[in-house]
Amino acid sequence: MKKIKKYQGKKVLVMGFGISGLNAAHLLVKLGAHVTANDMKAPQDPTVVTDLEQDGIKVITGSNPLELADQGFAIVVKNPGIPYDNPLVARFVKQGTPIITEAELGWEIFEGHLVSVTGSNGKTTTTTLTQLMLAKSSTHNVKYAGNIGVSFSKVAEQLGPDDTLVTELSSFQLLGAPTIHPHVAIITNIFSNHLDYHKTRENYINAKLNITRNQTKDDFLVVNWDRDEWQAIARRSQATIVPFSRQNKSHAGAYEENGDIYWRGEKIMAAKDIRLIGPQNVENALAAIAAAKLMGVDNDDITSVLTTFSGVRHRLQYVLDYQGRRFYNDSKSTDIEATEVALQGFEQPVILLAGGLDRGYTFERLVPYFKKHVKGIIVFGQCKDKMKDAAEQAGIPTIIESENAITAVPEAWKISAPGDVILLSPANASWDQFPSFEVRGDRFIEAVEKLTGEKEKD
C-alpha cells in the first residue's frame, strides 16, 4: 500500500455505509483524515456505528443533512449508487467540492499491476476468468475486487508492488474515479443501462470510457469488436486497442473462427470445450484471454481455467438436474440484452421465469428469442403484463402468471418435461419484490431445492 499524504489533516465526508464506504472510512483514518460518515438509514447492526466511532469517526445516520455541505469538507467519498441529483450531493457539486468513489481511493493507495473490467453485461464473469488465469500463472498475489462484491480499497491495502489486482468497475464507480489508470482495461460491451441514473446514453458511454481516460499508448484497451458503435467508442481512447470478436471481425486480438478460439492466429482451444454455456460466455472468455495473453499467461493455464470454471453465482449459474430437467439461475439478467444471450445458450426447450421492476419499456425485442427457444413462460412482478404481451406475440403455448420468482418454480415444474431447461432470466431488475438480484437468485435456488429435495451443485 502506498503511504500517500493527500488526506493528511483533511476533513472528509463518506456517504453510504455499504462495504466499500465502511472500508473507505476506516482507511481514511489511517491516512490521517478527519472523517465524518453519513448514511440515510441507521444500520441494522449497531456494531457498525460502534466500530466507526471507536476509530474516531463522527457518525450521522437517518438523513443526509444539507448543512453538511457548509462544514468545510475538502472531499466527499460517495457510495456509487447515490445519484448526483441527491440534494446533498448536488450541493457539493454546485460548490465545487471534489466527489470521488471508493474505487478512486483504492487506486490511489494501490502499488501493483491493475487490470480493470467494465461493460453492460459480462463484467463479473470476465473479471473472474481473468483473475483465475493470471493467478494460475503467477507466483505473486492476484486478487479481484470492485463491483464484484469485494472492496477495492480493502484489497489494495493488502497488496504489494509485485501483485496484481483485477477490478470490476461499474459506470457509477468510474464517474468518481478521475485518476484511475489500469495497464489493461476491458470493455465487454455497451448497451443502454442505468439511464435513470445517467439520464442519456452518451453520459453512460462517457462514464464507461473513464476506464481508459488516463491510459497511454503503452497501455491496452481490450474491447468487443462485434459492433461498429463499439469500435468507434474504442477509438476515442489513447491506449493500444486490442479487439476480441466472436463474429470473426478482427484477427488482431482474440477471436472465434469456425468453432475454434484463437489469439492473433494461434489456436487456443475449441469453443465447445469452454465449460460455461452460451455465446455470451464465449465473448467473456475471449476478453479474458486477450487480457491474460497481454499479461504473459500461457495457453495451458488459459485452457485449464476455461475447461473447469463452471460460472459465477446468479450469472447463468447451473443449479442442479432433477428428473431430466436442468435448472439455471440467471438472476443477474436485469435487462433485455442479458436474457437474449441467455436464451441463445440453450438448444433444449426452455421454461422461462421472467419479470420484475417496470422501468417503462416493453419486450417486443424478445419475441424472436421466445419463438425459437421458449416452450412455456411464467411471468411475475410489476411488468408481468408487458412480458405476457410479448409471450403472446411469440405464440408461446403456455403462459402462466405467478406472484414472484419463488412461486414460479413449482408452476414451471408442472409444465416441464424431461429434457427441458427451467431458467430464471428475468430481463428486469428485482427491486419491485427483492432488495437485489442476489437475493432473488438465492430465493430461486432455495425454491428449487425445496421442490426437488436436492442441493445445488458446486
> What is the CATH code for 106-306?
3.40.1190.10
> Residue type at 306?
L
User: Burial, 139: exposed, middle or buried (Cβ in 10 Å; 0-12, 13-18, 19+)?
Assistant: exposed
Check the annotation: does 123 bind a ligand: yes
Check the annotation: does 160 bind a ligand: no
Which candidate, 108, 98, 159, places its Cα nearest to that of 3?
108
**Stretch 123-147: mean pLDDT, rounded?**
96
Q: Where along the chain do its domains lie?
A: 11-100, 106-306, 317-452
The residue behind cell 468507434 is: 232
Please write the tens of the pLDDT for every residue from 162-212.
999 999 999 999 999 999 999 999 999 998 777 788 889 999 999 999 999
> What is the CATH code for 317-452?
3.90.190.20
Given a cut of 90, is residue 85 above it in pLDDT?
Answer: yes
**Stretch 300-324: mean pLDDT, rounded?**
92
Q: What is the pLDDT of residue 121?
A: 87
Sign of the Cα torsion 218, 222, 226, 232 reads: negative
- The SS3 of residue 380 is strand
Q: What is the pLDDT of residue 44?
A: 84
Which residues contact residue 286 at a Cβ distance below 8 angstroms, ignoring those fewer than 6 apart?
A: 244, 245, 246, 253, 254, 255, 256, 261
User: Burial, 87: exposed, middle or buried (Cβ in 10 Å; 0-12, 13-18, 19+)?
Assistant: exposed
Check the annotation: does 97 bind a ligand: no
Q: What is the pLDDT of residue 313?
A: 84
Which residues contact residue 181 at a Cβ distance below 8 angstroms, ignoring those fewer than 6 apart?
A: 107, 114, 214, 215, 219
Check the annotation: does 121 bind a ligand: yes
Mean pLDDT estimate for the chain:
96
Please write the tens of the pLDDT for every residue from 2-53.
989 999 999 999 999 999 999 999 999 999 999 999 999 998 888 999 999 9
The x, y and z cell numbers of residue 419, run together, are 429434457
> Do residues 131 and 110 touch, judged by C-beta distance below 8 A?
no
Q: What is the pLDDT of residue 63?
A: 96
Check the annotation: does 122 bind a ligand: yes
Task: Give the C-alpha distances (Å, rounded to integers) separating 330 from 59, 275, 394.
Answer: 38, 16, 22
DSSP letter string, 220-276: EEEEE-SSHHHHHHHTT-SSEEEEEESS---SSSEEEETTEEEETTEEEEEGGG-SS
Report the alpha-carbon distance of residue 353 to residue 400 in Å, rounded.
10
Please write the tens of the pLDDT for every residue from 281-306.
999 999 999 999 999 999 999 999 99
**Stretch 424-451: mean pLDDT, rounded?**
97
> Do residues 22 and 38 touch, judged by C-beta distance below 8 A?
no
Check the annotation: does 61 bind a ligand: no
Q: What is the pLDDT of residue 100?
A: 98
Report the alpha-carbon distance of residue 293 to residue 261 in Å, rounded.
13
Report the alpha-carbon distance of residue 98 to residue 279 in Å, rounded.
41
Please write the tens of the pLDDT for every residue from 342-391.
999 898 999 999 999 998 999 999 999 999 999 999 999 999 999 999 99
Please write the tens of the pLDDT for every residue from 226-270.
999 999 999 999 999 999 999 999 999 999 999 999 999 999 999
Q: What is the pLDDT of residue 55?
A: 97
Q: What is the pLDDT of residue 310?
A: 81
Q: Model's pTM, two decimal places?
A: 0.83
- Fold designation for 11-100: Rossmann fold (3.40.50)
Report the alpha-carbon distance of residue 334 to residue 387 in Å, rounded.
14
The x, y and z cell numbers of residue 142, run together, are 492476484
Q: How confident is the model at residue 311 (pLDDT cuts 50, 70, 90)?
A: confident
| Helix 19-30 × helix 46-54 angle, to 10° | 10
Report the alpha-carbon distance of residue 225 to residue 84 in Å, rounded.
32
Report the alpha-carbon distance of residue 305 to residue 292 in Å, rounded.
11
Task: Give the C-alpha distances (Å, rounded to integers) separating 258 from 24, 246, 254, 427.
Answer: 48, 10, 14, 30
> Do residues 377 and 351 touch, judged by C-beta distance below 8 A?
yes
Which residues contact residue 232 at a Cβ distance below 8 angstroms, ignoring those fewer than 6 apart?
A: none
Percentage of the chain exceeding pLDDT 70: 100
Percentage of the chain exceeding pLDDT 90: 90
